Amino acid sequence: MNEITYDKVEDEKSPVIKQLYWNIAFGLQDVDGLKPSRYMVELSQEHINGKKTYYQVQEEITSYYKKNSDNHIDDDEEEADEVATAIYEILNNKSFRFDYLTLKNYHQRLFYHLDNKKYNPGVFRLYNMTKDEPILNGDTVNYQSYDMIEETLRYDFQEEKEQDYFDMNEAQLINRICEFTSRIWQVHPFQEGNTRTTAIFIQKYLISMGFKVNNELFKDNSKYFRNALVRANYTNYSKGIKADNKYLMMFFENLLLGKDNKLDNEDLDVNYLFQ
């Protein structure tokens, strides 16, 4: 009897895939207007070209910021670099479990090396919050109350588990994925980093179900993705604005169906309605 053996998961070998993963990791930082340092980009290129392993890159960037904690130039670059290395590792790791605890785990891994007081990695927030949104003239989405975070996520994840995508046509499928993504983002369970955590989780979830995901969309349109989530969760009757998920649907149609919808951030901006 031939015994079936397991293979150890190794670092990605293909330079093309490695380049794509790093592009996504760097592109998602644009959600918060962050850019990787020149040093980080150089390290990623050494990894892509096979001169360094991923773990060497991870160790070198973390060591660099530890040694230069008091005199490195830009805290934003540190965040972009540390989070990008974590995003790459998550994308490279093929394992996935559909559970809100995985969402917590991803947040912890993304922000583990950063200021605990600011990010509180992997811990649900303990207070209510707002966030000024440029496309809403500085108004905010109403996020879930902090004391309802776990209960709400548990409900949303259970409802999603009960969905049967095989019985859906394309329009229904896209609408359902948009609804689930929008819901967990609106909960905004963490102090910081909710959009990046949501984006990585949704990518992993869709790939785990066998969808062919156009990952270039997250690389090139991360800010559009966030603003589309804002518009899907914002209502202001006095200004004639209602929650609208059509922009998020356009994003996911491009992501999963290969459509070529125009994804323009200016289309999401409703500042003119406040004038």
Q: Using one digit for the tens of pLDDT, what is the confidence trace for 141-197? A: 999 999 999 999 999 999 999 999 999 999 999 999 999 999 999 999 999 999 999
**What is the rounded average pLDDT of the residues 211-224?**
88
The DSSP letter of residue 52 is: S
CATH 3.40.50.2300 fits 96-275, yes or no: no
Q: Confidence band (pLDDT; 50, 70, 90) for 12?
A: confident
Task: Report the alpha-carbon distance of residue 89 to residue 91 in Å, rounded.
Answer: 6
Closest CA to 144 of 154, 153, 135, 132: 153
Task: Report the predicted TM-score, pTM, of the whole model to 2 decimal places.
Answer: 0.92
pLDDT bucket at 10, cuts 50 / 70 / 90: low
Question: And the tokens for 112?
Answer: 């583990």
d(CA 84, CA 86): 5
Please report, as a single letter, which amino acid is at residue 151: E
DSSP conformational letter for 268: G
List the domain boundaries for the chain. Answer: 10-93, 96-275
Of the candidates 230, 206, 239, 202, the residue with the CA atom closest to the CA atom of residue 28: 202
Cα separation, 129 vs 191, in Å, equals 8
pLDDT band of 8, cuts 50, 70, 90: low
Residue 61 has pLDDT above 90, yes or no: yes
- Res. 35: pLDDT tops 80: yes
pLDDT at 6: 47
CA distances (Å), origin 166, targets 27, 163, 172, 210: 32, 9, 11, 12
For 264, which DSSP code?
-
> Are the C-beta atoms of 31 and 196 separated by less than 8 Å?
yes
- Dihedral through CA 5, CA 11, CA 16, CA 17, nearest 10? 70
